[in-house]
Amino acid sequence: MGTEYTYDSQCLYRDGKPWFPVMGEMHFTRYRKELWEESLRKMKAGGVSIVSTYLIWIHHEEEQGNFDFTGCRDLRSFLELCKKVELKVFLRLGPWVHGEVRNGGFPDWLVKLEREGIAVRSNDETYLGYVRRFWSRVYEQAKGMMHEDGGPVIGVQIENEYGHVGGLRGEEGEAHMRTLQALAEELGFRVPLYTATGWGGAVIGDALPVMGGYCDAPWDQSVKELSASTNYIISHERNDALIACDHHVEGAVTFDESKFPYLTAELGGGIQVTAHRRPVGTGKDIGAMSTVKLASGAALLGYYMYHGGSNPEGKLSTLQESRATGYANDLPEINYDFNAPIRQYGSISDSYREVRLLAQFLEDFGEDLAALPASIDPDGVKPEDMHTLRKSVRHDGRHGYVFYNNYVRNRTMDAHEGVVFTGPCEDGDVVFPKTDIPGGTFGFFPYHMRLGEAELVSALATPLCRIHDKDGEVFVFYGDQEPCFSWKGGKAARVLHLTRQQALNACKLMLDREYLVLADNFVWEEDGKLKAVGGEETRILSYPAFTETPEGFSPAGTEGSFAAYVRKRGERAAVTFRESGRGVRPAGEKADSSVPGEALMEKERAWTEYRVKISYPEKLRGQDRIEGRDTWLWISYSGFGMEILAQGQKLNDHFYTGQKVPVSLGYFDFPEELVIRVYALYEEDWVYLEKWPPLTDGKVCSLDGLDLTEEYR
């Protein structure tokens, strides 16, 4: 008999035991097919256990009746790889998805029919006929991949933000959601879990509601600093009023929250910028928000996006969201980087490390945490209160975890000295030793925690994972305070204590046995072997020492409890650039493939063009990224935005944020010549930037520098 997935009002269950998964969104149609497996393995190594993905209608039926499931649109191959890598899947079927896609994912031909009188996103029989046809073709790709068939698909999301961003409300809306779910089941999408987004007054039918939370709102129509986010308040309030606030409707939720576990499907793993608003979500922004959701009683951490990507090339139009297609925002034509944990071309970000900290804890100890309700004190903290330490305890009256948050994005919180945390217990509260909580920090500590045969009464350290070595279990904790481990009866478990920075670089892997590997880039397991991403010199640490030295590495002594290994690789590519032209794009000129977004059409905008030449060492020529190496181009520029072209074809575009822009040259088969066109930023531009670049005579338009780094696997 297969695994059983169920839920109650507190949490999800797997085979009758509480289950606390981490879910990460990856859009297979927005990434190169040959690199899917590598990315899925990176996600798994980051602690993700469920991959969620949109089925974006316009990506598969851009031309009416002409379906495309080839190349990056090959759903079947993606699901087969998820099964191979042992990741579960949530299919987000739509039919409307939003996802910063043209028409919210509806093909242009369907939008045309809507203008002619078909009532889309309703029980209109003609509309449902088109949905049936599309979902039938999707099911042909997914047949045999449902959980009941031994496949990876355990969940299906119906629609998206229905009744909040378009669609019907009230009982009509609920009826439509039930109709769609029944249609999905009839076609073969029979899974243990059906979900629907529940924020902003959305209706859910008979589905399980999932919530979200972002550290900023790039869709907000303001170009000023926003008020402090409620997502940094520990609270029983599940609704994030910022999500899709450009489509605001009254009413927080339409369902009784007490009947459902607190599940999230759209915690921002980063933020996708818009032309007018360009916040940059940092790793700590994401880590603190995630910790707050745990502290508030969440029972699923789901990230949108976990993996960035690129909009595929359309046959008839660009496929991004834009004002030209009736939306309030302009997005880049290609770039869907999202500053996600895994970025547009597969590079690591600080948010990957922050999410992995929590995900590894949940993988080993989530069964315990999931069933514990949250007791919040103080409750009712105001978003702009930078003085009060935000706290909660998840406990059952016998044991639990104390949480704290002293971090708010783009704000300075007071430091708190001599804080004494208390863990509620029916037979006497646990009083933690005094500790200092600096501003800008967040975390949690356990009490009465069972660790093998020992019981940890309290500690000012955070559990990360458990490792089995030849002598039994070792429990890994981290933190920068004195840990102050207190054991019941003096019987202590074996503990490996890391600094927080070491823990951010730590990844638990199963090879011939379990190892804790510290590396500043990705590491993962593939076919029983270690894969490590690094540069010309890569240094990793392992506890315990590897039974066999990984291929390409050499032993390099020890560092504390860890064995060190070093890998050295050879030559580097070189890059040069020169200015090759200037011009002005007239206001209102029709968009074409050389312009990053419709936003540039609002006014006359100057541009400067640069020719870039890359020279690869002879022995690296012809080596595929897919076979283990890459060259990264890091672009520093100042302007409104820029685009990258090769042989007249646009490879990528970007709205300026002040960050260096990473571009994988291997992703594009190592081009030797590129064109970078930078568009001018003017002081009067209606745009929010966290930090503006220096302007000269009221504008800036320059390529400031290029760097190359070599990367090996």
Rounded CA separation 267/265 (Å)? 6
Can you tell me the mean pLDDT for 130-157?
Answer: 98
Please tell me whether residue 506 adopts helix, strand or coil conformation.
strand
Q: Where in the chain is the domain with CATH 2.60.120?
A: 574-712
Residue 441 in this model has a pLDDT that exceeds 60:
yes
Residue 596 backbone phi and psi in degrees, to 5? -80, 75
Predicted pLDDT at 592:
39
pLDDT value at residue 600: 47
pLDDT at 598 (0 to 100): 46
Specify the pLDDT at position 586.
87
Give the β-pairing of 193-197 and 208-213: parallel
Three-state DSSP at 82 gives: helix
Q: Where does the pLDDT of residue 593 fall: very low under 50, low under 70, confident under 90, or very high at 90 and above?
A: very low
Q: What is the pLDDT of residue 251?
A: 61
Q: What confidence score (pLDDT) does residue 40 get?
A: 98
Asked if pLDDT for residue 50 goes beyond 90, the answer is yes
DSSP one-letter code for 86: T
DSSP state of 200: G
pLDDT of 180 higher than 80: yes
Distances in Å between the Cα of 690 and the Cα atoms of 216, 226, 580 are 12, 11, 30
* pLDDT at position 114 over 80: yes
pLDDT score at 622: 57
Give me the phi and psi of 678, to 5 degrees please: -105, 130
Show Cβ contacts of residue 176 under 8 Å, excluding neighbours closer than 6 positions: 121, 122, 123, 162, 167, 168, 205
Q: What is the mean pLDDT of the chain?
A: 95
Q: Residue 648 burial by CB count (10 A; 0-12/13-18/19+): exposed, middle or buried? A: exposed
Q: What is the pLDDT of residue 247?
A: 65
Residue 664's pLDDT is 97
**Res. 300: pLDDT tops 90:** yes
Residue 594: the pLDDT is: 35
**Domain 5-368 sits in CATH 3.20.20.80:** yes
Query: CA-CA distance, 146 to 189, in Å (whole number)?
Result: 7
Q: Look at residue 132 and tell me whether its pLDDT is greater than 80.
A: yes
Architecture per CATH, 574-712: Sandwich (2.60)
| pLDDT value for 595 | 38
3-state SS, 556-596, equals EEEECCEEEEEEECCCCCEEEEEEEEEEEECCCCCCCCCCC
Q: Are the C-beta atoms of residues 473 and 493 closer than 8 Å to each other?
A: yes
Q: What value does the mean pLDDT take over residues 303-331?
A: 95
**Cβ of 230: how many Cβ atoms within 10 Å?**
17
26-30, 279-283, 628-632, 653-657: which range is least confident on average?
Answer: 628-632
For residue 130, what is the DSSP state?
H
pLDDT for 697 beyond 90: yes
Instruction: Give the max Cα distance, the chain.
Output: 78
Nearest to 536 by CA among 518, 552, 517, 513: 552
Task: With a cut of 60, say whether residue 137 has pLDDT above it.
Answer: yes
- Residue 250: what pLDDT? 57
Q: What pLDDT score was predicted for residue 617? A: 85
Residue ranges of the chain that CATH labels 3.20.20.80? 5-368
Q: Is residue 626 predicted with pLDDT exceeding 70?
A: no
d(CA 187, CA 695): 58
Mean pLDDT across 538-551: 97
pLDDT for position 2: 86
- What pLDDT score does 591 carry? 43
With H, G, I as helix, E, B as strand and everything else as coil, classify residue 241.
coil
Q: Does 627 have pLDDT greater than 90?
A: no
Contact 565, 517 (CB under 8 A): no
Judging by beta carbons within 10 Å of its beta carbon (0-12, 13-18, 19+), is residue 633 exposed, middle or buried? buried
Q: pTM, whole model, 2 decimals?
A: 0.97
**pLDDT of res. 497:** 98
Percentage of the chain beyond pLDDT 70 is 96
Region 268-272: mean pLDDT is 96
Instruction: State what percent of residues in the chain have pLDDT above 90.
Output: 91
